[in-house]
Structure 1
Amino acid sequence: MKKILIPLFSVALMVSCGTSKVSNTTEKPVQTANSGLKGDKAFQSAYKTIKADDLKKNLYVIASDEMGGRDTGSPGQKKAGEYMISYYKGLGISYPKALGSFYQKVPSDFMKKRGGGNLPDSENILAFIEGTEKPEEIVVISAHYDHVGTQNGVVYNGADDDGSGTVAVMEIAKAFQNAKNAGNGPKRSILFLHVTGEEHGLFGSEYYTDNPVFPLANTVVDLNIDMIGRDDAENRGKSYVYVIGSEMLSSELKVINEAANKKTNNLELNYKYDDPKDPQRLYYRSDHYNFAKNNIPVAFYFDGIHEDYHKPTDDVEKIDYSMLEKRTQLIFTTAWDIANRADRIVVDRK
């Protein structure tokens, strides 16, 4: 996640006066005719393919020293991208036909004009499953795969930031592809979007929304995943996830996500940061914002600012793989509903 400097008085205010808005319940979910949880057996079969061991296996590669901290345009980041593409090919998942490959080049000049200094050319990576009934409508599931590289000879592996989101997207893609292979492909198309340049200024997602492979008017939602493998001091040991932005543009998205949560692991959904005026400004600090500013509903899933954020100690050994699995399952369930429901979710808020 992009780092910003926050005045000390703002942090103090947040810690002393902030109250957590949370939601969870033990009630059984109410299923409606419009629910996207079609063919519960098909959903359950796909859902069960999301496993902590598989998330761990991929993260031990993506966040290894071999990737050199995955700085934007670096050889290590490109190596991580090659691993991801090989993974998608192995699943039988391809790229958008209009793009012609898994890569969307993000030019150095584009980043330089936006304060990116002398960053080299880099790439967004796009994998794609075409919808069976409404292929022109696109559900985006995003995460950034860059981190901050190597500093003074020390590798900043970014296992949580955002290795956790990267492997979650990969695992969600596997679940959707398994459903497709069983004859239960999503009604709407799914774009698995791995963006570059987030740490330097949300460059990859900005480039995509400036140069969309699919019309933004056809983009239904962006479910963005940035740090879901740890916990913060405030929620230590809890089964929770922060959700940001889910009702800012659509009155339906928050309802869908909460219903998905009830159906699955019943996590504590924490809305503490779900306010553009929050001093941490998290609504503006990850890639969903470039979709939101184009009037596309978003939900940002996040575990909080922990003690290893942007430090060389953000390593794979510190990931809570059980929580990573549960949060990934929630996001998959939300995506499944949105992709398969009869009607596109509404944009009814500004």
Structure 2
Amino acid sequence: MKNIKLYGFLLGVALLNSCASTKNFSYEGKGFKEAYNSITSSELKENLYIIADDKMEGRDTGSAGQKKAGEYMIEQYKKNGIGFPAALGSYYQKVPSDAMKKYGETLPDSENIMAFIEGSEKPNEIIVISAHYDHVGMKNGEVYNGADDDGSGTVAVMEIAEAFQEAKKKGYGPKRSILFLHVTGEEHGLFGSEYYSDHPVFPLANTVADLNIDMIGRDDPENRGKQYVYVIGSEMLSTELKKINEAANKTSVNLELNYKYDDPKDPDRLYYRSDHYNFAKHNIPVAFFFDGIHEDYHKPTDTPDRIDYELLTKRTKLIFSTAWELANRPERIIVDGKNTR
């Protein structure tokens, strides 16, 4: 009889601990709230003014300025105690010049940069959060800073990584692993993400989803002054991903989610034009977050002083909230759509 009572007591304790754990990983839990609130406009701004500084010379693929920006990013990851994939041996994945020759250009060797937080329960399942850190460099002696394209995505990935790391320090680390992937060569042909998908550090079969961030710091003329973000591709391969993103939005920043470009047949073909596509073509669910084509797109006037930092912060928090659910839900999302390739 005593053994039965003891078993019942231990089972009750286990259930209570399980419920407490589930609650802490919910949007109402302490773990999520503290990490979410650690994402600030001041930190995004501080990092972006450095990433998009004239000293980075527009971060063209393989350039000294791009490498300098990469070194700064790695310094921040080290400062926050965020490491790299063990299999890689460093934060760098070399992307050789020979892998970047589609359009007759000769580009120098470059690097993808990766930071990594291992999951506590399902470490072999990987959530990828990506952004390209290259831009178009200098033209006629003028720096094309690329603050929005894609300095905004670069610093958002860094800030999301820091938020997950803060949660981990307090005992709420993600259950699935998260790869923070900064790719090179996007402006010349999505080269860095293509190279990663051809030479993955983690098996593509284990990759649950890619949340790709490319330009989230401005607004376009069609949405001037609105609190919005374009979301592209979120239900093309997984209907669950779109639902998760929408639920995360309602729970957090409640932006207007604009699906104008969420159609492979859209004349602008944006589904094919950023780094998420190199995951989607391998049937990995993706969501691409984007602010639209504004008047400073690919111009030297894309500078950090023109960024809407409050809106950048809200969009970053939305993506973090979506990643939090993807990383901590009991089951990985299903793939129930069709590749549109």
TM (norm. structure 2) is 0.92
**Residues 80-108 of structure 1: CA distance to partner in whole angstroms, max 9, x if unpaired?**
00000000000000000000000000000
SS in 2 for 1:314: coil
Count residues in correspondence: 317
Larger RCO: Structure 1 or Structure 2 (Cα < 8 Å, ≥ 6 residues apart)?
A: 1
* Partner residue of 1:322 out of 310, 322, 336: 310
- 1:241 alignment partner AA: V
* Partner residue of 1:205 out of 184, 187, 193: 193
Superposed displacement of residue 134, structure 1: 0.1
2:72 equivalent in structure 1: 83
* Partner residue of 1:141 out of 119, 124, 129: 129
Superposed displacement of residue 115, structure 1: 2.3
- 2:312 alignment partner AA: L
Cα RMSD (Å): 1.2
2:328 equivalent in structure 1: 340
Distance 1:92 1:76 in 2: 25
1:57-206 matches, within 5 Å, as 57-112=46-101, 114-115=102-103, 117-206=105-194
Distance 1:214 1:185 in 2: 19
Q: In structure 2, do the counterparts of structure 1 residues 116 and 289 end up closer, same or farther at CA, with 3 Å as the change threshold? A: farther
- In structure 2, the gaps of 5 or more residues are 1-21
Maintained 8 Å contact 1:249/1:296 = yes
Distance 1:288 1:210 in 2: 14
Distance 1:48 1:119 in 2: 41
* Partner residue of 2:281 out of 279, 293, 313: 293
1:29 equivalent in structure 2: none
Identity of counterpart residues, as a percentage?
A: 76
SS in 2 for 1:309: coil
Q: In structure 2, do the counterparts of structure 1 residues 82 and 180 end up closer, same or farther at CA, with 3 Å as the change threshold? A: same
1:280 equivalent in structure 2: 268
Q: In structure 2, do the counterparts of structure 1 residues 116 and 69 end up closer, same or farther at CA, with 3 Å as the change threshold? A: farther
Q: In structure 2, do the counterparts of structure 1 residues 34 and 291 end up closer, same or farther at CA, with 3 Å as the change threshold? A: farther
SS in 2 for 1:334: helix
2:38 equivalent in structure 1: 49
1:3 equivalent in structure 2: none
The structure with the larger Rg is 2
**Residues 177-222 of structure 1: CA distance to partner in whole angstroms, max 9, x if unpaired?**
0000001100000000000000000000000000000000000000
Maintained 8 Å contact 1:288/1:298 = yes
SS in 1 for 2:100: helix
TM (norm. structure 1) is 0.89
Distance 1:250 1:168 in 2: 24
- 1:142 alignment partner AA: S
**Residues 30-56 of structure 1: CA distance to partner in whole angstroms, max 9, x if unpaired?**
xxx899636611100000000000000
Distance 1:60 1:171 in 2: 14
Distance 1:316 1:116 in 2: 32
SS in 2 for 1:280: coil
Q: In structure 2, do the counterparts of structure 1 residues 132 and 39 end up closer, same or farther at CA, with 3 Å as the change threshold? A: farther
Maintained 8 Å contact 1:108/1:120 = yes
Maintained 8 Å contact 1:252/1:345 = yes
Distance 1:82 1:116 in 2: 29
Distance 1:88 1:43 in 2: 20
1:27-38 matches, within 5 Å, as 37=26
- 2:281 alignment partner AA: K
Distance 1:122 1:45 in 2: 36
Distance 1:275 1:191 in 2: 27
Q: In structure 2, do the counterparts of structure 1 residues 71 and 165 end up closer, same or farther at CA, with 3 Å as the change threshold? A: same
Superposed displacement of residue 314, structure 1: 0.2
Q: In structure 2, do the counterparts of structure 1 residues 116 and 250 end up closer, same or farther at CA, with 3 Å as the change threshold? A: farther
Distance 2:103 2:207 in 1: 28
Maintained 8 Å contact 1:38/1:340 = no
Maintained 8 Å contact 2:25/2:32 = no
- 1:140 alignment partner AA: V
Superposed displacement of residue 116, structure 1: 5.6
- 1:190 alignment partner AA: I
Distance 2:143 2:25 in 1: 42
- 1:305 aligned to 2:296? no
Q: In structure 2, do the counterparts of structure 1 residues 116 and 261 end up closer, same or farther at CA, with 3 Å as the change threshold? A: farther
